[in-house]
Homo-oligomer: A and B are copies of this chain.
Amino acid sequence: MLSVLEQVRSGAMSPSDAAGQLSDLPYAEVAHAVGSTLIDHHRELRTGVPELVFGAGKTPAQIAGALGELARRGGGAIATRVDPAKAEALRALVPELVVHEAARIVALGAPGTRPAAAPIAVVCAGTSDLPVAEEAALVAEFLGAPVIRISDVGVAGIHRLLARLDAIRDAAVVIAVAGMEAALPSVLGGLVDRPLIAVPTSVGYGVSLDGLVALAAMLASCALGITVVNIDNGVGAAVAAVRIARLAVGERAR
């Protein structure tokens, strides 16, 4: 912005041309069309996190195009919510893709060097919640944070959770993944002093309402200081946790 203003001072640019450029600037620099999708290379500068391709509802060709454009600038790229059939089709298009089946993630290129981050604990209530937990873990690792994985510690066997508390306390921030009645974050929230991000999953049936009850139970928790993301949103939890984990080691994206 200053460079445009300098040009105005020097007479190299007229005020009205400058007015036009100033409003286009942030966008023009970074937008790069891939088919009908605009890739926002500027986003990592602005928010500390690059675009992550949301694979649901996109064709293999669209995903491949987006990953290619993102990875072209270095730092690698990942797409989430890629089911096995789509992953297969993608691998046919881009053989060097790495597929993480359980997490429904595909990755292209080596993750770039990103700001340092403190460890993140991903704590998972039941085995059916694992895909969401693993999505969170892989995204956190892609963004540069070390991850401590703790699984199958649902509250119906509270001893299992208590036995893992020290491992959980080694992390700077905790992601708790649970479906059904989602009591795990409430119990954890009374036991640890770390920021705690709860991820409800759509695991359950009948009155579980596809995860809505887990979500609401987490929000209504009697334990203060729990924050929550959308149902099955492992990606969002990871991004939030990484922002915190960077702060914990004194890093900021800008």
Q: Chain A interface (Cβ within 8 Å of chain B)? A: 1-2, 5-6, 8-9, 11, 15-16, 18-19, 22-28, 31, 36-38, 40, 42-43, 46-49, 52, 56-58, 118, 125-128, 130, 151-152, 154-160, 162-163, 165, 172-173, 180-183, 186-187, 189-197, 200, 202-233, 235-237, 239-240, 242-244, 247-248, 250, 252-254
- Which residues does chain B contribute within 8 Å of A254, judged by CB atoms? 193
Q: Which of B56, B159, B214, B248 contacts A27 (CB 8 A)?
A: B159
CA distance A165 to B1 in the complex (A): 15
Question: In the complex where A6-B15, A183-B217, A193-B47 touch, is A211 in contact with B222 (Cβ < 8 A)?
Answer: no
Give the copy number.
8
CA distance A239 to B196 in the complex (A): 11
When C-beta atoms are compared, the residue in chain B nearest to A17 turns out to be B5
B253 lies within 8 A of A193 (CB): yes
- Which residues does chain B contribute within 8 Å of A36, judged by CB atoms? 127, 130, 151-152
A56 → chain B closest CB, angstroms: 7
B222 lies within 8 A of A162 (CB): no
- Which residues does chain B contribute within 8 Å of A18, judged by CB atoms? 5
Question: In the complex where A227-B229, A240-B195, A240-B227 touch, is A190 in contact with B155 (Cβ < 8 A)?
Answer: yes
A132 → chain B closest CB, angstroms: 11
CA distance A81 to B114 in the complex (A): 43
CA distance A127 to B53 in the complex (A): 12
Q: Which of B58, B187, B239, B247 contacts A244 (CB 8 A)?
A: B247
A69 → chain B closest CB, angstroms: 13
Listed A/B pairs (5) with beta-carbon separation below 8 Å: A8-B15, A9-B9, A181-B220, A224-B235, A247-B248
Q: Which of B42, B126, B127, B219 contacts A229 (CB 8 A)?
A: B219
A1, A38, A52, A244 — most chain B CB neighbours (10 Å): A244
- Which residues does chain B contribute within 8 Å of A125, judged by CB atoms? 222
A46 lies within 8 A of B224 (CB): no
A19 lies within 8 A of B37 (CB): no
- Which residues does chain B contribute within 8 Å of A197, judged by CB atoms? 227
CA distance A254 to B204 in the complex (A): 30
